[in-house]
Structures are given as structure tokens and as C-alpha cells.
Amino acid sequence: MATIYTTVDVDVDIEIDEFVDSCSERELQMLVRYLQEVGYLDKSNIRDESKMTSNEIEFRDKMSLLSDKFYQMTIEDAEILEKLYEKYR
């Protein structure tokens, strides 16, 4: 009897949070490195949270919230942030 070899493509729909939750620490690090390599993550903005103080983490989280609220800010609010940016740039 003849033997036939073939390839089968399977399309599986999985939620991203399920995928990420199933990854090991090593796999997550590989994922982050891959996202950095393909340009989805800026290497300079990634910090190891275990090496950050609680104040640094709190500040980062606050700045992230501010960036999410950009379109709700007044012109004056945006100008204040711009001045702070220029001061510490």
C-alpha cells in the first residue's frame, strides 16, 4: 500500500488573554522581545517592574492614565504637561 504525506493547516480562534495567560515566564519574555524586534514595543520604554520602586510604578501608572485622557484635557492642562515635559527633557 502506498504512503501519502500531506500538510494540514488548522485555523484556531483563541482569545489573546487566554494565549498570554497560558504562556510561561520564558515565553512571555520571548513574546516581548519579538514585539520589540518587529517594532510594536519601544525597547526604551520597557522596564523590569521588579526593579522599580512602588513610587516609580505608581508614577508610571498615573502617566499612563493621563495619556489615555488626552482628548478630555483642556488646552491649559495640555500646556502644563508640555511645560513639565520641556523642563525634564
pLDDT tens, position by position, 58-82: 998 898 899 889 899 999 999 999 9
pLDDT at 72: 95
pLDDT score of 89: 86
CA dist., res. 14 & res. 22, Å (int): 11
pLDDT of residue 60: 86
Separation CA 25–CA 50 (nearest Å) = 13
Q: Find, among 42, 75, 55, 61, the residue nearest to 83 by Cα.
A: 75
Residue 35 has pLDDT above 80, yes or no: yes
How confident is the model at residue 58, as a pLDDT?
A: 92
Residue 29 · residue 41 · CB < 8 Å? no
Residues 6+ apart with CB under 8 A from 57: 49
Report the predicted TM-score, pTM, of the whole model to 2 decimal places.
0.48
